[in-house]
Structure formats: structure tokens, C-alpha cells
């Protein structure tokens, strides 16, 4: 064992870059873990050394750890919460997570999950701790002083649960033996808001930036993929040392897999004796790994997994151009989990669906690099990721998302409801708009600022965090202009990667980039359930001018684009800024003359637009022809005239 003095010197060098990048302090960690897996009992024993740097100005009298697997026990908070939500019917269906349902209640003793702490020391001194199901509270014998670091040494035991949610063993859908996420005691985050000991009820995650050094000792027949770089690749082979090499012989019953990852906030791995391994090297970029097994009944074949690797290579230049450079040396798409779930430098995916592949990879930007508190800002995690996924998918397929709805309409030409829906959807991000409109209609909407675990329904959580969060960005493009919105995203990446930004941090980037005030947008869209509805109220001529009166019916005010189309085929745009913006966007379409009108005061329900042409010259008037504004009733947004 190295002397503590040497460890702290090396750690001090490690934390300097993080401190230099951030506009506010954040804690730092350095994990060294070694575990020994018993594949017959589905259990393992582990040792963890954790160097914790308190970069705050606060004296810490206690710390907290996550013990996620304790959720997979009958009558746990996750179990009861799932069953209680299952009692609610939404659109005639039980509102529970279909992967969880009541499965935890029925786990046998050998199928439950647990994480037990055998011993815990801080700087060599034993510490007392208290279990709060999935949270471990440690009351320290000596406080951690500001700007100092300590070393925690822990021994722990764990039982791998039967696959229920995200992690576990023996998933019958994937055939994967072990999906090892949330597998280790993980220190909770302490930030400017204090400790975040969030119980594991369903979602989401928040972790401390740092380095991980992980050694996994497991039966030599198993093959692994995971976070970080395999540093003993020359001993392992199996494509890690060179493409398409075999797993190297091992003289002992167990093989050691040694991974390291730097500047990350979590670590995942998966293992299966039948895994296959594909690699692709991106020119001037990361090494890509695709690790998968043969699913029962040959549901997926090798060609589909090869397509995953090829698609990733194709889309990465587009991703980096629009969202920022991928900074890590590798990324792994690993067959496992129960759908798709993101982790640093890796994802678990239950199949080779490219939609899932693109979504989970974009989480490398919107969570793995930006690291918001998902529990408080799920919409900044899932919503921003979904926004990016839609554009990456469009780039890959050369096809906008609304085309899926149009294809469905062609197959069902008598479906008037579908036709009306398509008429309200923009070209891009159409699925999110359709979901949001359904949520508003259901009367189950809750504010997006609701804590992820405390939504009244899974239905509301899912649409808010994914769809309404996605619309947040597309609608921001409507407010400030899509070109400026794109600059905002790159500036957000540049200024806040590796720093745990919150909603206000993003808004300030958007305001500074656009010169437009946007606090009102955050308050209405994130902190309320007020909806948007504008209409064309009336038309008339007066003193040689034509007039159109617009009316705000919904309770959320917005800037308004009004496009007028005339009989001679010409068009003109009238851009009406909201007074709360203290500015206006630049014209977006150079082919249409644009007039920026006087601001519309949010207190006033109506607004009159004047234009110099005769009213009888007008053929069509439409509020927001781009359909980016999430107007819940577009039937009153336009009028066509047959004079």
C-alpha cells in the first residue's frame, strides 16, 4: 500500500484541471475498486478506496453513499411505489413501469439484490453508519474540513439481483448474464445546494466527477465490456489488444479485467460467456466497441450489430459539429440492461435499434459530460438528449421525423384524427410535439420542475422529461432563431461541460448569446403548466390600411410570427416580439421580407397587425407557419380567403 502522503500528492495534481475549469466549486473523487465475483452464487465481495476532496467552504460532519441494489427487495420503496402507481389507470392502462410492475415483490431470497457494508474507515479510523434502505449515512468521527481531502477504505458485499430495472442478472429478453450498473457503493453528490442523498425509487442519477480504477475478478470464461479503457488488454486479447483476436488463455480459474476511466461520474460493466466483440476506430476519434451476445431465437443477427458500429462512425462528425467534441478515448455499445441506459463511455442497450443507439450516445453529451442533477432537471437530461437524437436520426436517414406520421397517414387515409395531428406538427421533433399535445389533453400535466421521483404519474414524467424537454430547445429556436439556438448549445457545451449546470446556467448562456431575456420562458415552460394558444380573431380595412387582430387564448405568452400570403404568390412575415424579451430575433428566412413589429405586452390579450396591401389581395394568414410554437390548438392559427 502506498503512503497516504504520496496518494494525496497525486490526487492534488488530479483535481487541479477540474477546479480551473469551473465557475463554482465542485467536489472530486478518485475510486480504486477491486471485486471478486462468484458466478455460481451471483454474489461478489469488494474493496473500495475512495479519495474525497472537499473543495467547498463547508465543514462536512457526515457523508452519504448510494446503495442502489437494496431497492430490489420486496416492500422496498421502488417496489411499493411501482405497485401504487400501477393502481392508477392512464388511458385505460396501469401507470407502472412495465419492466418493474410487481416483480420485486415476487423475488426469492436468491434473486433479490443487496449491498452490505462490512467495514468503513476514514483515514484509517472506523466510522459508524446507518442504513436508510438505498442510502448509507455515515456520521464522521472527525469532520472533513474545507479544501482538504480524506481517504475512505471500504469493504462490501453484494448480491446481484435478478434483472428487473437497469441492472441485474439473467435477463431472458437479452440472454445477457450480468448487467452491472449501480453495482458499487457510490458517494452521493455534495454541491452548492448541499447533500443529494436521493433514494433509489425509480430515477434518476447524479454523481461526483473523478477517476475510476476498477479491477474485476471473474470466472475466466466470461467476457466483459465497460466504462473506461482496458489497461491490461495485452493479457486479455479478445479484440481489445488488436481487432478480432481471441480471448487469451488463462491458467487460473478467474481472470482479472482492469479498467480505468478519467473525469467521469459513474462506472458500468457487463459480462457474459457468449459475448461477441466488434471494434471500429473513428479517424482522429475514439475507438468504438460493440459487445453483444446471441439473443434467444436469433432475434438479432450479427449484421444488425455491425450496423450499430457503422452508424456510430457515420454520425459522429455530425454530432461533434453540432454538439461538441467527444473527449474520451473510447465508447462501448454493450448488449444488456432492459432498454437503453447511459453511462460514462458506455451504454447498456437491449437490442441494436439505431434510435436507442443514437439516444444513448447523445447522453454522453447531455449527462455524461454536462452532468446536471437528473432528479431535479430530468428535462435537461432526457429532453436535450431527445432533441439531439432527432437531429442525428434525421442526418443518418436523410428524413425528418414528421415523415413517420405521414407514412402512417398514407396507410390509413380515412384516419381524420391522424390528419389533424399531422397538420399541427413541425418538420422536426414531431413525436415530442404529438406526445406533449396528448399530455395537455389528458389533464395530467405537472410542472417540469417536479422532482423526477415525485411525479403523480409515470405518464406525466415521461412526456415532460423527454418530449416537453425536447420542445424546450426547438421552441427556443422559434423565440431567438434556430441559428442562434445552435450557437447556444455549442457555447453551453464549451462553458459547462464537467461542471453540473442547472437550468439557470443554461438560460444565462442563451441570454448572453442571443441578447434576449429568457427568464419568462423558463418560468412559464418549466415552472408552470400554462399552455400556448393563439388565434386570428378578425380582419378589416381602416384608413387605407389592412388590419389583422390576433388573440392570445392560452395563458402562456409568446412572441408571434405571422405570415401573410397574397394572391400574386408573394409573402411577407411580421415578427412580433414579446415585451418580456427586451429584444427580437433576426429574420430567419431571407426569401420572405420580414417586418419586426412593436412588442406585444403580455398583459394584453389582443394585438393588431397592419399591412399596406388591400385586404382582398390577401389569400392566407397563418400564425407560426413553422409550427415550432407548441400551440395546443392550431385550428384557429390560420385563415384562407376566397374573395
Q: Kindly report, residue by residue over 342-390, the tens digit of the pLDDT.
A: 999 999 999 999 999 999 999 999 999 999 999 999 999 999 999 999 9
Q: What distance in Å separates the CA atoms of residue 280 and residue 313, rounded to the nearest whole number?
A: 8
- The pLDDT-based confidence of 11 (bands split at 50, 70, 90) is very low
**Closest by CA position to 518, among listed 477, 489, 463:** 477
* HEC per residue, 380-410: HHHHHHHHHHHHHHHHHHCCCCHHHHHHHHH
* Positive or negative: CA dihedral 8, 9, 10, 14: positive
Would you call 6 helix, strand, or coil by DSSP? helix
Q: Judge contact between 270 and 334, C-beta under 8 A.
A: yes
Query: Sorting pLDDT into bands at 50, 70 and 90, what band is 23?
Result: low
203 confidence band (pLDDT: 50, 70, 90): confident
Helix orientation angle between 354-362 and 384-397, rounded to the nearest 10 degrees: 130
Q: Are 381 and 363 in contact (CB under 8 A)?
A: yes
- Asked whether residue 510 carries a pLDDT value surpassing 60, the answer given is yes
Per-residue model confidence as pLDDT tens digits over 164-175 = 999 999 999 999
User: What Cα–Cα distance (Å) separates residue 366 from each residue in 292, 323, 363?
Assistant: 25, 9, 5
Ramachandran bin of 24, using left for φ above 0, alpha for ψ from -120 to 50, beta for the remaining angles: beta
Do you find a cis peptide bond into 204, omega within 30 degrees of 0? yes
Burial 453-483 (b: 16+ CB within 10 A, else e): bebebbbbbbbbbbbbbbbbbbbbbbbbbbe
Q: What percent of the chain has pLDDT over 90?
A: 94
Neighbours of 495 (CB within 10 A): 16
Percent composition of the chain: helix, strand, coil (DSSP 3-state, to 5): 30, 30, 40
For 56-110, what is each residue's pLDDT tens digit?
999 999 999 999 999 999 999 999 999 999 999 999 999 999 999 999 999 999 9
- φ, ψ (nearest 5 deg) of residue 117: -95, 120
Cβ distance 222 to 177 under 8 Å? yes
Contact 165, 82 (CB under 8 A): no
| φ, ψ of residue 109 in degrees (nearest 5) | -60, -35
Q: Find the DSSP H helices in 225-350.
A: 233-236, 302-323
Decide if pLDDT at 540 tops 50.
Answer: yes
- Which DSSP letter does residue 228 get? S
**Domain residues of the chain, as ranges?**
392-527, 534-640
| Spatial separation of the C-alpha atoms in residues 225 and 273, rounded to whole Å | 12
- pLDDT averaged over the chain? 95
pLDDT tens digits, residue range 272-322? Answer: 999 999 999 999 999 999 999 976 555 678 999 999 999 999 999 999 999
Q: Which residues contact 75 (CB under 8 A, 6 or more apart)?
A: 105
Cβ 346 vs Cβ 334: under 8 Å: yes
- Residue pLDDT, tens place only, 472-499: 999 999 999 999 999 999 999 999 999 9
Is the CA virtual torsion 31, 37, 42, 45 positive or negative?
Answer: negative
Residue 24: predicted pLDDT: 86
Question: How far is Cα 351 from Cα 348, in angstroms, rounded to an integer?
Answer: 9
Of the chain, the percentage scoring pLDDT greater than 70 comes to: 96
Identify the CATH assignment for 534-640 out of 1.10.10, 2.60.40, 2.20.70, 2.40.128.
Answer: 2.60.40
pLDDT value, residue 4: 34
Mean pLDDT of 335-341: 96
Is the distance from CB of 429 to CB of 640 less than 8 angstroms? no
Amino acid at each position: 500500500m502506498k503512503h497516504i502522503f504520496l496518494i494525496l500528492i497525486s490526487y492534488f495534481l488530479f483535481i487541479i484541471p477540474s477546479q480551473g475549469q469551473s465557475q463554482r466549486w465542485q467536489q472530486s473523487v478518485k475510486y480504486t475498486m477491486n471485486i471478486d465475483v462468484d458466478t455460481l452464487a451471483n454474489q461478489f465481495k469488494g474493496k473500495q478506496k475512495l479519495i474525497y476532496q472537499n473543495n467547498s467552504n463547508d465543514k462536512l460532519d457526515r457523508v452519504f453513499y448510494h446503495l442502489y441494489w437494496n431497492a430490489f427487495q420486496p416492500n422496498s420503496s421502488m417496489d411499493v411505489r411501482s405497485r401504487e402507481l400501477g393502481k392508477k389507470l392512464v388511458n385505460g392502462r396501469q401507470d407502472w413501469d412495465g419492466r418493474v410492475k410487481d416483480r420485486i415483490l415476487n423475488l426469492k431470497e436468491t434473486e433479490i439484490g443487496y449491498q452490505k457494508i462490512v467495514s468503513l474507515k476514514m483515514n484509517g479510523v472506523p466510522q459508524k453508519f446507518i442504513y436508510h434502505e438505498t442510502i448509507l449515512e455515515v456520521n464522521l468521527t472527525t469532520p472533513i474540513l474545507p479544501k482538504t481531502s480524506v481517504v475512505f477504505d471500504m469493504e462490501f458485499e453484494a448480491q446481484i439481483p435478478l434483472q428487473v430495472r437497469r441492472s441485474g442478472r439473467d435477463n431472458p429478453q437479452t440472454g445477457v448474464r450480468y448487467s452491472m450498473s449501480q453495482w458499487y457503493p457510490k458517494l452521493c453528490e455534495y454541491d452548492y445546494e448541499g447533500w443529494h442523498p436521493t433514494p433509489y425509487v425509480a430515477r434518476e442519477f447524479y454523481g461526483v466527477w473523478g477517476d475510476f480504477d476498477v479491477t474485476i475478478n471473474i470466472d475466466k470464461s466470461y467476457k466483459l465490456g465497460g466504462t473506461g479503457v482496458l489497461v491490461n488488454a495485452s493479457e486479455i486479447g479478445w479484440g481489445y489488444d488488436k481487432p478480432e483476436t481471441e480471448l487469451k488463455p488463462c491458467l487460473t480459474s478467474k481472470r482479472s479485467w482492469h479498467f480505468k476511466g478519467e473525469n467521469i461520474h459513474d462506472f458500468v460493466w457487463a459480462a457474459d460467456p457468449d459475448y461477441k466483440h466488434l471494434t471500429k476506430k473513428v479517424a482522429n476519434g475514439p475507438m468504438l466497441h460493440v459487445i453483444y451476445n446471441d439473443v434467444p431465437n436469433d432475434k438479432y443477427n450479427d449484421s444488425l450489430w455491425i450496423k450499430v458500429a457503422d452508424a456510430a462512425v457515420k454520425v459522429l462528425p455530425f454530432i461533434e459539429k453540432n454538439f461538441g467534441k467527444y473527449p474520451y478515448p473510447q465508447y462501448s455499445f454493450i448488449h444488456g440492461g432492459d432498454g437503453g441506459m447511459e453511462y460514462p463511455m458506455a451504454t447498456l442497450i437491449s437490442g441494436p435499434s439505431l434510435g436507442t443507439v443514437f439516444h444513448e450516445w447523445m447522453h454522453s453529451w447531455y449527462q455524461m459530460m454536462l452532468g446536471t442533477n437528473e432528479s431535479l432537471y430530468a428535462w435537461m437530461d432526457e429532453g436535450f438528449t431527445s432533441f439531439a437524437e432527432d437531429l442525428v436520426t434525421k442526418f443518418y436517414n436523410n428524413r425528418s421525423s414528421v415523415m413517420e406520421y405521414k407514412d402512417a397517414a398514407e396507410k390509413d387515409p380515412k384516419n381524420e384524427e391522424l390528419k389533424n395531428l399531422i397538420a399541427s406538427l413541425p418538420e422536426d421533433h414531431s413525436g415530442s410535439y404529438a406526445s406533449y399535445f396528448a399530455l395537455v389533453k389528458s389533464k395530467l400535466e405537472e410542472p417540469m420542475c417536479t422532482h423526477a421521483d415525485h411525479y403523480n404519474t409515470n405518464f406525466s414524467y415521461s412526456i415532460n422529461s423527454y418530449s416537453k424537454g425536447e420542445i424546450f430547445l426547438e421552441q427556443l429556436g422559434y423565440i431567438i432563431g434556430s441559428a442562434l439556438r445552435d450557437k447556444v448549445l455549442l457555447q453551453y457545451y464549451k462553458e459547462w461541460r464537467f461542471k453540473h449546470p442547472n437550468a439557470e446556467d443554461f438560460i444565462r448562456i442563451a441570454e448572453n448569446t442571443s441578447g434576449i431575456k429568457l427568464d419568462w420562458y423558463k418560468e412559464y415552460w418549466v415552472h408552470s403548466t400554462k399552455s400556448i394558444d393563439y388565434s386570428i380573431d378578425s380582419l378589416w380595412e381602416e384608413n387605407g390600411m389592412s388590419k389583422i387582430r390576433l388573440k392570445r387564448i392560452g395563458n402562456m405568452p409568446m412572441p408571434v410570427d405571422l405570415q401573410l400570403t397574397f394572391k400574386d404568390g408573394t409573402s411577407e412575415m411580421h415578427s412580433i416580439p414579446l415585451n418580456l424579451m427586451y429584444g427580437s430575433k433576426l429574420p430567419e428566412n431571407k426569401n420572405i421580407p420580414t417586418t419586426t413589429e412593436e412588442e406585444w405586452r403580455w398583459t394584453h390579450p389582443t394585438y393588431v397587425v397592419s399591412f399596406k396591401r388591400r385586404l382582398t389581395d390577401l389569400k392566407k394568414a397563418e400564425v407560426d407557419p413553422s409550427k415550432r410554437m407548441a400551440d395546443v390548438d392550431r385550428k384557429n392559427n390560420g385563415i384562407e380567403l376566397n374573395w
